[in-house]
Structure 1
C-alpha cells in the first residue's frame, strides 16, 4: 500500500518514518527546496521528544535540545509576576529537528519543489496528487501535512473560518554569548501590564536564544518591512523594556526575522474525507501561546499511523484518530484563546490568576491533577525550621514539581511579655536552646544574639516576608532564607530595618515597594496567616499540612526524616515520580545561592568528610566561596543568579 504525504515538515516527516517502520511504501512531497529556515525554534514537552527519540531505533543520530528549568514572567520594570518550575520542557531549533528527521528517511522518499495543486479522483476516492511542477503521485492513502494554510484542507472542506488576527508575533534568533543565568536555562518573558505587548526569550543550542515579540497591532504595526525597518520597529516598540531585551536585539540578524499573523479555527468535524486525511497544523491550527503545535504534529502522526496499522478499514482508522484527538485539541484551542485575552487585557488579571503559557500533552493525569497542596507553617526565628532546611531543600529538588507549597507565617514570638514555650521564658533561655539545636541539627546556629541584641518579636520579619510575597513568590523565598542566615548564622537582629533592607537587596526585591507594603497590605496578609494557623490548631513549627482533593489531609510536625515526607507525598499521590539528583558537585549551587555543609552533604548523598573535600575543590575552582562565622560556614555560590 502506497502513502503519499503532502508536506515535508515535522508532521509529514514523522508520519513517513513511522509508516516506513510498518513497511508501507512512502513518498513525501515538499513544496520548498532544501531545509526550510522559517520557524527558528520551538518549545517541546518531553512527551513529544520521547516520540522523536523512538523514531531513530538503532540509528546513532543525536538531536540537539536545550532543557528548561523554569518559566519566569516579569513586568517591564523587572518585577517577577510568576515563576514556575518546568517539568521536562525543551527548546529545539526547527532546522535541527528537520535535519534529524530527514536523516531517518531514504533520500529518494522526499521530493522537493513539489507544491500541491489538486487531486485526481475515481469513484470519490483520491487516486493521485497533482503538483504545480507537473508531477503526479499515485497512491492509496494521502496525508495532508501542509501546514496552517493547507491547500489539501481547502480542497476537502473549503476555506477555513479563521479567527481575526488580534496578535502578531515577531520571531528571531540571536547569538548572545554574554547572557548568563538565569537566562540560559529559563523561559523568560517580560509583559507590559498596561497593554498587549510582551517579549519572550528562550535558550536554544550553541549559545543561541530564540526571541519573540507578541504585540497588539492596534498599538503599532508595520507592513512588509525591510530588515532595517523591522529592527527599528522592534527597538522602538520595546523602548521601555529591560536592558537584556535590547542586548538580544543588538545581536540579532533581522534579515532572517519574520512576522507571524497569529490565528486559529474551530475543530473540524472530521480530519478526513474518503482516503485523504489531515495531520498537524493542516488539521488544527492553534494560537502560539500554548507552545503545543510541534508536539501536536508528532502525536498526530503517531496516533494516525497506529490506527492505520491496527484498524479493519481506513474509515475506522480515521474516525478513531479524530475521536482521540479532537477533544484534546478543542481544550488547547480554548486555552490559547484564554491566553490571548489575558495578553490583550493584562490589567484585568491579577498576578495570581495569570496562566502559564505552556501545556503538556500527557494522556494520563494532568500536572494539576497530580500536585499535592502543602501548607508550610513556619516562622523566621524558628530554630527547628532552620534545622530542617536540608530535608526541605532536597524535597524541593526531587518532588517540587509535584507540590504547591504555600508559606504561612505562624507568629512564634508575639513579644516576651507573658511568653512561655516549654523551657523558654526569656531571651537567655532561647540562647541556650539555640546552642543545643546547633549540635542536634548540625547546622550553624549562634545563640549569642539572644544575649547581645535579643529580638523583641518575630512579627516584624514575618510581616516583611508577607510584603515580599506581594512582589514575587520566588524572591520572597530567597528573602526568608536571607533572614534566616542573618539571624541564625550572623547573629543579626532581623527586626531592625537595616537588616531587613540588606536581605531584601540580596533577594532582588524593590525596597521602596517593600517598605510601602510593610506599612499596609502585608499587615492584613499576616493576620490572615495567624487566623489560618489558629484554624488548623498549629502551635509548633515547622508544621506541614499535605492535602490532595477529597483525601484526608496529612500532617507532618517538627524535625522529621526525609523518608517521612516522601511517604506522605506518595500516600496522597502514588504516581508521583521524583527527579533524579544531578551527581555533579556544583549542581546544588546552581539551584541555591548558599548552602551549609550539612545541606551540601545531604543533597550530594555524601559523608561530612567527602562533602568537605568536594567543597574545597569547588572553592579552588572559584565556583563558590566561604563565609565563616563562629557557629559554622556558609558556602556561597558564584554560579547561581537570582531571577532578577
Structure 2
C-alpha cells in the first residue's frame, strides 16, 4: 500500500515512522523548502514518549532532552510557590519518562530516523494544493502542476490544513481570545536559581518556563487574553519592550528570565481553534493531529495527541482489511480521548488565567492522560 502523508511536522513524521514500522511504503510531502532550527520548546509526557521509544527514538531523546524533577506553580506578582508537581518519578509510575526538548531536536531526530528506515521518503518543497478521492486511490495535485496517485492520504498539515478545508469543512480557524509569546534564553546568561521549571500565573496571564537542549537553553511561553488578533501572519516577531510591558507586573525572577532572550528575539502568535469535526475521514483521506482536532496548549498534550494518533492509525491500518474500516476504527478509538483532552486544555487555561491560588490548580495533577498506551492499548474505544 502506497501512503502519502501531507505535512512534515511532528505529527506527520511520527506517522511516517509508525507506518514504516508497520510495513507500509510512505512518502511525506512537506511544503517548506527546508526544515531548520526553530526556537521553541516542547513538553513530552509519558503517553507521548512511550510511542517515540517504541519507534526507536529513545537514545536520541535522552541525548538532547531535560527531565525536570518538578515544576513549581507560582503567584505571578510575588513569586511565592502555590503548588509543586513532582515529575522525577514518572518513568517508574507510567513506564515512560517525562521530557522537555527543543522542538527542532525532536524533529531532527525523527528526520534522521526516517532516513534510516525509509530513505528518500521525506520530500521538501512538495506543496500539495488539492486531493481528489478516486475510487480506490487518491489524486494529489501539487503547486508546481504535478499529479501523483496514492492508495490513501493522511493529512497532518496542521490547524491551517488545506485538505480539511477542501474536503471536510471550509470554515476557517477561529481566534480563541489568547495571544502567546515565546523565546529562548541562554542559561549562561541567567543565575543558577532561575534555571528551574516554573509556571507563574494570574491577572489573566501566565508564563511557563523550562530547560531544553541538555539545559543549555531555557524556553519560555507567555500567554495573555486578547479580544482580537489582526496580524497578517500566524507567528510574527514582537518588540521586546512591548512584550516586557505586557508582563511588567510579574515577579522579579520571571521578569529577569523573559528580558534576556537570545538575540533579543521574541515571537508572538494568536491561538486559534476549530469546531469539533464529526467525521475525520472521507473515502481514502483521513485527518490527523491538529488538522483533525486542534487544542489549546495549556494541557501540554497537543503534540502528544498527534503522536498517539499516528501510532493508533498505523495499528488500525495493520489490523483492518480496508482503509475505510481502519479509518472508522481509528476515529472510534481516538475521538473520546481527544475530546476529553481538548475540553481539559480549555478548562486548564481558564484556571491558569484566573486567580493565582491553590483552588485554581485543583485537578492539575496528571491522570489518565499520562497512562494512556497507544502502543498496546485496546482499539475501538
Decide: shared fold, TM above 0.5.
Answer: yes
1:264 equivalent to 2:273? Answer yes
Matches within 5 A, 1:288-437: 288-344=297-353, 346-347=354-355, 350-355=357-362, 356=364, 360-363=369-372
Question: Which residue is equivalent to 1:92?
Answer: 101
> Relative to 1, partners in 2 of residues 1:57 and 1:203: Cα closer, same or farther, differing over 3 Å?
closer
Question: Which residue is equivalent to 1:55?
Answer: 55
Q: 217-226 or 22-31, which moves further after superposition? A: 217-226
Matches within 5 A, 1:409-488: none
- Secondary structure of 2:274 counterpart: coil
CA distance, structure 1, for counterparts of residue 147 and residue 264 of structure 2? 35
TM-score normalised per structure 1: 0.52
Question: Which residue is equivalent to 2:140?
Answer: 129
Which digits, 9 at most, give the CA deviation of each residue in 1:342-379, with x for residues without a partner?
244x13x7523424386734237xxxxxxxxxxxxxxx
1:147 equivalent to 2:158? Answer yes
Q: Is the 8 A contact 2:351 2:360 kept in 1?
A: no
Q: Is the 8 A contact 2:49 2:98 kept in 1?
A: no
CA distance, structure 2, for counterparts of residue 306 and residue 120 of structure 1? 25
1:72 equivalent to 2:82? Answer no
CA distance, structure 1, for counterparts of residue 345 and residue 317 of structure 2? 30
CA distance, structure 1, for counterparts of residue 366 and residue 179 of structure 2? 18
CA distance, structure 2, for counterparts of residue 187 and residue 120 of structure 1? 47
CA distance, structure 1, for counterparts of residue 222 and residue 314 of structure 2? 36
Q: Is the 8 A contact 1:339 1:357 kept in 2?
A: no
> Relative to 1, partners in 2 of residues 1:150 and 1:218: Cα closer, same or farther, differing over 3 Å?
closer
CA distance, structure 1, for counterparts of residue 281 and residue 7 of structure 2? 16
CA RMSD of aligned residues (A): 2.8
Question: Which residue is equivalent to 2:223?
Answer: 214
Q: CA deviation at 1:157?
A: 1.0
Matches within 5 A, 1:188-267: 188-192=198-202, 195-206=203-214, 207-218=216-227, 227=237, 230-253=239-262, 257-267=266-276
CA distance, structure 1, for counterparts of residue 128 and residue 267 of structure 2? 24
Aligned residues: 357
Q: CA deviation at 1:215?
A: 0.6
Question: Which residue is equivalent to 1:159?
Answer: 170
CA distance, structure 1, for counterparts of residue 42 and residue 139 of structure 2? 34
Q: Is the 8 A contact 2:155 2:163 kept in 1?
A: yes
Which digits, 9 at most, give the CA deviation of each residue in 1:287-317, with x for residues without a partner?
0101101111111100000010011221221
Structure 1 unaligned runs (5+)?
A: 365-644
> Relative to 1, partners in 2 of residues 1:312 and 1:272: Cα closer, same or farther, differing over 3 Å?
same
- Structure with the largest fraction of helix: 1
> Relative to 1, partners in 2 of residues 1:303 and 1:56: Cα closer, same or farther, differing over 3 Å?
same
Q: CA deviation at 1:164?
A: 3.6
Which digits, 9 at most, give the CA deviation of each residue in 1:110-169, with x for residues without a partner?
11111220023434x552211212233311010001011111111221224645421111
- Secondary structure of 2:335 counterpart: helix
- Secondary structure of 1:67 counterpart: coil
CA distance, structure 1, for counterparts of residue 319 and residue 293 of structure 2? 24
Which of 181, 191, 204 in structure 2 is aligned with 1:170?
181
CA distance, structure 2, for counterparts of residue 52 and residue 268 of structure 1? 27
CA distance, structure 2, for counterparts of residue 255 and residue 3 of structure 1? 42
CA distance, structure 1, for counterparts of residue 2 and residue 105 of structure 2? 28
CA distance, structure 2, for counterparts of residue 156 and residue 332 of structure 1? 25
Q: Is the 8 A contact 1:63 1:96 kept in 2?
A: no
Comparing both chains, which one has the higher relative contact order based on Cα–Cα distances under 8 Å and sequence gaps of 6 or more? 2
Q: CA deviation at 1:268?
A: 1.9
CA distance, structure 2, for counterparts of residue 226 and residue 150 of structure 1? 20
- Secondary structure of 2:272 counterpart: coil
> Relative to 1, partners in 2 of residues 1:222 and 1:231: Cα closer, same or farther, differing over 3 Å?
farther
CA distance, structure 1, for counterparts of residue 285 and residue 108 of structure 2? 27
Q: CA deviation at 1:264?
A: 2.3
1:119 equivalent to 2:119? Answer no
Q: Is the 8 A contact 1:202 1:210 kept in 2?
A: yes
CA distance, structure 1, for counterparts of residue 46 and residue 357 of structure 2? 30
CA distance, structure 2, for counterparts of residue 220 and residue 266 of structure 1? 18
CA distance, structure 2, for counterparts of residue 245 and residue 61 of structure 1? 28
- Secondary structure of 1:167 counterpart: strand
Q: CA deviation at 1:247?
A: 2.6
CA distance, structure 2, for counterparts of residue 220 and residue 311 of structure 1? 44
Q: Is the 8 A contact 1:72 1:84 kept in 2?
A: yes
Which digits, 9 at most, give the CA deviation of each residue in 1:620-642, with x for residues without a partner?
xxxxxxxxxxxxxxxxxxxxxxx
Q: Is the 8 A contact 2:46 2:371 kept in 1?
A: no
Q: Is the 8 A contact 1:295 1:361 kept in 2?
A: no
Structure 2 unaligned runs (5+)?
A: 91-96, 374-381
